[in-house]
Structure 1
Amino acid sequence: MRHQPSAWEVVGRCRTGPQGPRVLEVNARLASGLIGYLVHLATGINLGTVAADIACGRVPLLESSNRGTAASRMFRPATSGILAERRLLPDSPRPWLRRLLWLRDAGDPVAANRLLTTQRSGAVGFAVVTAPTSAEARGHLDGLERNVIIAARSARSRT
């Protein structure tokens, strides 16, 4: 069984026997992926430190030092195939761009399916931005996406 609040993940194990299901264990842990990084950028709170404090019996410091928004977006090609090109067009300075990471190189298979969210889904890269509001963060991501060039050729093509 699994329940995922925004920054923490609760995982449990059950076993079914003659008397029905039985809970064996329930554990809380930090959520995976970029969630801890996004929380840190938006609030200044380090979830790893919070978890360590709790594990050591200390009261964690949960006072936010930032007041803002952090957001991320995966970049995919318009069509599935073999990645031919991926790059970011030059633009004015982007102090709000905290991370741009390419996950695929030319020659790698890529998928246009936006419903897939894992790294293995064929996403070409992702960006992380910060802004005072979520609307501004979405605007940064939209503008950035307009400047990301991703081209894929058919997997059957030889050129």
Structure 2
Amino acid sequence: MSDNFANAGSLDPEAGFSNGPSVGQAASDLRAAAGEKAKELGDQAKALKDKATESVQHFKEVATEKASHLKEVASEKALAFKSAATERAEQLKHAASERAQQFRSAADDQWRETRDKAKEIHITTEDYIRQHPTRCVVGALGIGFVIGLLARR
């Protein structure tokens, strides 16, 4: 019975009544099991962290690669657009130049014809005035009189 009293001060209520493990032993076992479980969970967390880091790195590489590819495609399209625009501008410039040359040529031809007609009219008028000086003077006086009457009103 002295064993029962010796164990009576311990925290195990059944310490004096059974031959099983003590509360201290059970607590040690629980601590050991909790430590093992914590270590196991820590290892799993580390594995998940490593896997997440790898996934993030992979996504980063894929995104960088796709961004680079998109940049290259955009650059190629921009160059193609620029060359097409330059070519079209050259075509329009050439067409406008041809059109301007045609207008210039037509205007020169028209100017020559007008100048020739004006010379002919001048020569014809001079001849008429030399052949009929009295008529021309009387006609000029009549026209001057009419212009004077109109200017008074």
Measured against the shorter chain, the TM-score band is under 0.3
Select the structure that is richer in helix: 2
Select the structure that is richer in strand: 1
Q: Give 1 or 2 for the bigger CA radius of gyration.
A: 2
What TM-score comes out, normalization by structure 1 length? 0.13
State the structure with bigger RCO (CA 8 A, min sep 6), 1 or 2. 1
